[in-house]
Amino acid sequence: MENSRPRIILSTAISIDGKIATKTNDSKLSSKEDIKRLHKLRSKVDAILVGKNTVSRDDPILTVRYAKGKNPIRIILDSQGTISKKSKILQSCDKIPTIIAVSKKIPQKNLEKLQKFPIEIIITGKDYVNLKLLLKKLSKKKIKTILVEGGGTVNWEFVKHKLFDEMIVTLSPFLVGGEDAISYVGGSGFSKISNSPNLRLKSVKRLKNHLVLHYEKL
Ligand SMILES: NC(=O)C1=CN([C@@H]2O[C@H](COP(=O)(O)OP(=O)(O)OC[C@H]3O[C@@H](n4cnc5c(N)ncnc54)[C@H](O)[C@@H]3O)[C@@H](O)[C@H]2O)C=CC1
Ligand SMILES: Nc1nc(O)c(N)c(N[C@@H]2O[C@H](COP(=O)(O)O)[C@@H](O)[C@H]2O)n1
């Protein structure tokens, strides 16, 4: 398995209480210095992957802007193909290679909408994108490293299946609170701590009031 999938790095900024966005979806947790660090990292990977909700809530473009280097391929997990035509991702897909991963359950009209854009559509999974199969397909396309930039549901899928190698968490000096605010890792969660992947803390970097924690999965 290890060689048949790309190297996966999970990367997120979290508040001290483990949230990645407020209940109204404000996710601006990183400082300028941390964003620069993130963009340098983006320039070194083959692809960036995010979930559909992150696209609909943040409208990201997922490019390298605050560092030198190439833009990675963008990969969006969007089982039903509901990404907006007006999203920055689709509006810029003629310039930046983009893959939308959908499931077999995608409604025909959504598939036809996507087919009008110069993107690659990868279909895996019955109702939900099958991550293991998707990663196999991406590996065959010579994608060797993927930076997973959230959100919480996507993070859970990678954590649950232990499909990652490194994890970079920026601990930002904020308290968000709220039952409805999105946590770093969502989904149904593990019942026991012993089910968690084992992580080794490789480094801690201080960027003024932010701490960048770099873990590797054992
Ligand atoms: N602070 C930070 O660094 C970041 C914060 N965010 C925040 O996270 C929030 C979005 O997180 P979530 O609502 O949890 O959604 P998400 O961004 O994780 O997207 C989840 C959706 O992706 C689709 N999907 C398809 N196949 C999937 C699969 N195999 N595994 C997982 N998802 C799959 C599904 O439609 C699912 O509902 C936003 O508010 C955003 O601002 C997102 C990224 C980074
Ligand atoms: N590392 C990090 N820190 C934050 O504070 C964030 N809000 C995010 N979000 C991720 O970056 C995407 C935005 O990227 P662009 O500026 O549009 O290139 C956002 O959608 C999240 O995936 N990350």
Distance CA 8, CA 135 (A): 10
The ligand 2 atom at the shortest distance from the C-alpha of residue 151 is: 22
* Beta strands across the sheet bearing 47-51: 120-123, 98-102, 73-77, 47-51, 145-148, 7-15, 166-172, 210-217, 199-207
Distance CA 110, CA 119 (A): 14
Full set of structural domains in the chain with CATH: 2-217 (3.40.430.10)
The ipTM is 0.97
The ligand 2 atom at the shortest distance from the C-alpha of residue 11 is: 1
Whether 60 lines ligand 1, by a CB cut-off of 6 Å, is no
> What mean pLDDT do residues 116-139 have?
98
pLDDT in tens, 8-53: 999 999 999 999 999 999 999 999 999 999 999 999 999 999 999 9
Find the 63 Cα to ligand 2 centroid distance in Å.
10
Whether 157 lines ligand 2, by a CB cut-off of 6 Å, is no
Find the 60 Cα to ligand 2 centroid distance in Å.
7
pLDDT in tens, 174-204: 999 999 999 999 999 999 999 999 999 999 9
The ligand 1 atom at the shortest distance from the C-alpha of residue 26 is: 41
pLDDT tier at 4, thresholds 50, 70, 90? confident
Provide the mean pLDDT of the chain. Answer: 97
- Does residue 3 register a pLDDT over 70? no
> What mean pLDDT do residues 117-125 have?
98
Find the 55 Cα to ligand 1 centroid distance in Å.
8
Distance CA 195, CA 183 (A): 18
Find the 194 Cα to ligand 2 centroid distance in Å.
31
> What mean pLDDT do residues 145-161 have?
98
> What mean pLDDT do residues 66-71 have?
97
* pLDDT, position 2: 46
* pLDDT, position 166: 98
